[in-house]
Amino acid sequence: MPSAVARGSYYQARSKKWLEAAGYVVGPLQLYGWIKTSDGLRPVKRDAFGADLLAVSRDLLVFVQCKGGESWRSGLAAARAAFARYPLAPSCAQWILGWSPGAREPDVIIVAVGPCDAQHPVVVPPRKKPKVLPLFAQGA
C-alpha cells in the first residue's frame, strides 16, 4: 500500500497533466522545509495559498487543490476553509480537482471566483444524494 505522500504526488501529477492538456501552464505551490526537533531534522511540506498547483492561462489564474482516492470528498471542508483565508484578484479562481478511483477526468469543484476579500464565502454545491435523517428526526 503506497504512503499518503505517494498517493498525493500521484494525484497531483495527474492533475498537472490534465490541466496542461486543457491549455494551462502549471507550477507547484508547495513549500518544503526542515524543522529541527529533539529527534533531529524533520521534513515539512506546506501548501502556499491553500493550493497544491498554480495553473495560468491567458484569461485565468487558478489555484488548484488536488484530492484523490475513494474518500477524497472527506477533505472538502478543510480545503474550502484553507481557500477562504486568502483574497482573490479579478480573473482568479480556486478549484478542487477530485479524482475518483479509475476516473479518466477529475470532478472539478469551483470554490470561488475573484474578486473576493479574505475570509470570503465559498461555493458549497448541493448534495448529490439527500442525507438520510435518523428515524427520531423524521417526524411522524
Residue 113 located in a structural domain: yes
Residue 32 located in a structural domain: yes
Please provide the DSSP assignment of the chain as one string.
---HHHHHHHHHHHHHHHHHHTT-EEEE-EEEEEEEETTEEEEEEEEBTTBSEEEE-SS-EEEEEEEESTTGGGGHHHHHHHHHTS-B-TTEEEEEEEE-TT-SSPEEEEEEESSB-TT-----PPPSSPPPPPHHHH--
pTM: 0.77
Residue 13 located in a structural domain: yes
Task: Quote the number of domains for the chain.
Answer: 1
Residue 136 located in a structural domain: no
Residue 26: give its domain's CATH number: 3.40.1350
Note the pLDDT tens digit of each residue in 95-122: 999 888 888 889 888 888 878 777 776 6
**Range of weakest confidence among 5-14, 33-42, 63-72, 96-105:** 5-14
Residue 129 located in a structural domain: no
